[in-house]
Chain A
Amino acid sequence: SQQGEEDPQALSIQEGENATMNCSYKTSINNLQWYRQNSGRGLVHLILIRSNEREKHSGRLRVTLDTSKKSSSLLITASRAADTASYFCATDANLNRDDKIIFGKGTRLHILP
């Protein structure tokens, strides 16, 4: 089963609005990362947040982490057409002592002009 589950699966908003995506995970983690993928291309790293951090900012991006709820959110403020992409959270799932990185299925974000 997926370690990370993004919600919603798809999101369409008007340009200029804020977009919020959520990620829930099942096991304890050391780090959580958010990535962006433009259609059919490789992933681009956005932000890494460690388990002892609660919030992190990078430009128009704000990530929060709630380890008690095993969830994270990614907020994109003042969205632009170029933000249209799929967004994935990735965790280092401590499953069977392996620390392989597990990705969720992603949120497809579409920014309407």
Chain B
Amino acid sequence: KAGVTQTPRYLIKTRGQQVTLSCSPISGHRSVSWYQQTPGQGLQFLFEYFSETQRNKGNFPGRFSGRQFSNSRSEMNVSTLELGDSALYLCASSLVPGAVYEQYFGPGTRLTVT
């Protein structure tokens, strides 16, 4: 069974631009969560999607948004990029939402904002 895939793996953007990251969950997994990881703040929860609906949201500004498609694939978008958005963005999938089962993480997208 293929693991969680994220594209692109690396990205360099300029302040003010917008970016879209993609995540394909493990086949059969319907829950997708996104996390931002930085050295200073650690792993912070962005949002979780289940059955194309946002189920939970972390404490991030409205510039961060996401969506999930009918095939469970998910995208997150960051508009008006700021230098502080430079981070490793991790996507995780699980069978169902919550912590009942383990999450499977993708390799992440390393975003650098200059």
What residues make up the interface of A, taking CB atoms closer than 8 Å to B? 2, 29-31, 33, 35, 40-45, 48, 88, 90-92, 98-106
Contact A106-B105, Cβ < 8 Å, known A30-B99, A42-B4, A99-B98: no
Contacts of B25 in A (CB 8 A): none
| Given known A-B contacts A41-B108, A42-B4, A101 and B103 have beta carbons under 8 A apart | yes
Give the docked Cα–Cα distance between A30 and B99 (Å): 8
- Our pick among A41, A42, A102 for the contact of B45 (Cβ within 8 Å) is A102
* Contact size range, B: 20 to 34
Question: A42-B90, A43-B92 are known contacts. Are A101 and B105 too (CB-CB below 8 A)?
Answer: no
Contact: A31 with B100, CB < 8 Å? yes
Assess the A45–B103 pair: CB atoms within 8 A.
yes
Cross-chain contact A99 with B88 (CB below 8 angstroms): no
Query: A2 vs B41: C-alpha distance in the bound complex, in angstroms?
Result: 9
Given contacts A42-B90, A103-B43, 5 further A-B contacts (CB under 8 A): A2-B42, A30-B98, A43-B103, A103-B45, A105-B42
